[in-house]
Amino acid sequence: MPLVSWLYCSALLARHISMISLPDLICPAGSLPALKAAVDNGADAVYLGFKNDTNARNFAGLNFDQKTMADGICYAHAKGCEVLLAINTFAQAGRVADWQKAVDAAVDQGVDAIILADVGLLDYASKRHPQQRLHLSVQGSATSYEAVNFCQREFGVRRAVLPRVLTLAQVEQVIKNTTVEIEVFGFGSLCVMNEGRCWLSSYACGESPNTVGACSPAKYVKWDKKPGAMETRLNGVLIDRFADNEPAGYPTLCKGRFEVEGETYYALEEPTSLNVLSILPEIIKIGVRAIKVEGRQRSPTYVTQVTRTLRAALDSLANGSQSFQVKPSWQAELSKVSEGSQATLGAYNRPWR
């Protein structure tokens, strides 16, 4: 082979080797404008829910009826973006048929995958609609490869969303021991990392994401202005007290400040957002198949900024991670929409195992 041809082929091979498989960017769509914002700014897939308590973001003014969902699916598919539908609350006694009808409706709408948490619904969907792609919701609380493989074996689950309680090493351990695609959270609000099992909202007001699809439902929220302070309550329970110069956050029980042994602090979870920009190369290296953005309850502006920023960061990794650097402009954009204007790597960088 002539030297010039050999050098050309070697360069092509080196370039091919340096190319990496990027994970899908999965973005929230709490409304049709938010869906369009995600699609237009580079999401590989959007996730959404019906306008009822079958999904875990069942807030007034959010989600999709049959018509707007059909419009959204048409818009996304026309631009090569997949649509995932979350039916991720747990079917309630005496109303199982409502959740089963939601599964049937999702199939009729032509969604690319249904995200489920309830094993009874997984069983129903896998038997009634064997051709339908199924994902295991983070609400399913699968933190081990044994749990993931069980859902694959019994229900044909193709992807699992891991709870935000695992270190990167533990995520890698799951990936190494399953053929199920693994999806992890990359940006957005945190919780006490007990997805699918949290009873805090139920404790305070009798309703939770697992049952009615909303943590700290708005009808139980009260803002009480006092001299020099703002108190926030949930069903009468004092969640936090803010000074006049402090931004008053929504009264979610796990993010309240409480007096513990004479000290007042965020006893469970400090209001802050997960942001994995700095560890994107490590996430890709261990074989994560999809990175999820939290925030179906957030605005189209939030969706636009986060999607656009993460798309740019992921695309910069397409030729390899050797030269990857987090741009200050990326962090600045995400900081604008971070909860409490603070960011964390969450469990990913904690030293415990």
Other C-beta atoms within 10 Å of 215: how many? 25
Average pLDDT over residues 157-175: 95
Q: What is the pLDDT of residues 207-216, one digit of tens each?
A: 888 888 888 8
The larger pLDDT score, comparing residue 286 to residue 259, is at: 286
Q: 182 and 234 share a domain?
A: no
Q: What is the pLDDT of residues 105-120, one digit of tens each?
A: 999 999 999 999 999 9
Q: 123 and 257 share a domain?
A: no
Average pLDDT over residues 34-48: 98
Percent of the chain exceeding pLDDT 90 equals: 65
Q: Is the pLDDT of residue 47 over 90?
A: yes
Phi, psi of 21 (to 5 degrees): -85, 115
Q: Which of 154-163, 232-241, 335-344 has the highest mean pLDDT?
A: 154-163
d(CA 141, CA 156) in angstroms, rounded, equals 17
What is the pLDDT at residue 340?
66
With respect to residue 163, please indicate whether it lies within any of the assigned structural domains: yes
Look at strands 229-234 and 237-243 and give their pairing.
Answer: antiparallel
Residue 152 belongs to what H/E stretch? helix 145-155
What is the pLDDT at residue 44?
98
Q: Is the pLDDT of residue 350 over 50?
A: yes
Q: 40 and 153 share a domain?
A: yes
Q: Is the pLDDT of residue 9 over 70?
A: no
Q: 278 and 152 share a domain?
A: yes
d(CA 65, CA 127) in angstroms, rounded, equals 25
3-state secondary structure of 22: coil
What is the pLDDT at residue 17?
36
d(CA 103, CA 71) in angstroms, rounded, equals 19
pLDDT band (50, 70, 90) for residue 341: low
pLDDT band (50, 70, 90) for residue 189: confident
The larger pLDDT score, comparing residue 192 to residue 168, is at: 168
d(CA 122, CA 88) in angstroms, rounded, equals 10
d(CA 219, CA 106) in angstroms, rounded, equals 29
Q: 75 and 165 share a domain?
A: yes
* Count of helix runs (H) and strand runs (E) in the chain: 11, 15
Q: Which of 9-18, 238-247, 259-268, 289-298 has the highest mean pLDDT?
A: 289-298
Q: Is the pLDDT of residue 8 over 50?
A: no
pLDDT band (50, 70, 90) for residue 303: very high
What is the pLDDT at residue 348?
80
Into how many domains does the chain fold?
2
With respect to residue 148, please indicate whether it lies within any of the assigned structural domains: yes
Query: What does DSSP assign to residue 16?
Result: H
Write out the residue range of the structural domain in which residue 37 sits.
14-190+273-349
What is the pLDDT at residue 126?
98
Task: Kindly report the CATH number assigned to the domain that includes residue 116.
Answer: 3.20.20.70
- pTM, two decimals, is 0.87
Among 15-24, 173-182, 310-319, 328-337, the minimum mean pLDDT is found in 15-24
Q: 153 and 229 share a domain?
A: no
Q: What is the mean pLDDT of the chain?
A: 89
pLDDT band (50, 70, 90) for residue 323: confident
Q: What's the start-to-end Cα distance of the chain, in Å?
A: 53
Q: 131 and 250 share a domain?
A: no
Q: 288 and 233 share a domain?
A: no
Sign of CA dihedral 50, 56, 59, 62: negative
Do 305 and 28 meet the contact criterion of CB atoms below 8 Å apart? no
Q: 23 and 116 share a domain?
A: yes
Q: How far is CA 305 from CA 33, 44, 148, 300, in A?
A: 14, 15, 32, 9
User: How big is the CA angle at 112 (ends 158 and 98), to the nearest 5 degrees?
Assistant: 90
Q: 281 and 249 share a domain?
A: no
Among 44-53, 92-101, 251-260, the minimum mean pLDDT is found in 251-260
Q: 220 and 331 share a domain?
A: no
Average pLDDT over residues 320-333: 88
Average pLDDT over residues 52-78: 94
Phi, psi of 142 (to 5 degrees): -85, 105
What is the pLDDT at residue 351?
55
d(CA 262, CA 256) in angstroms, rounded, equals 16
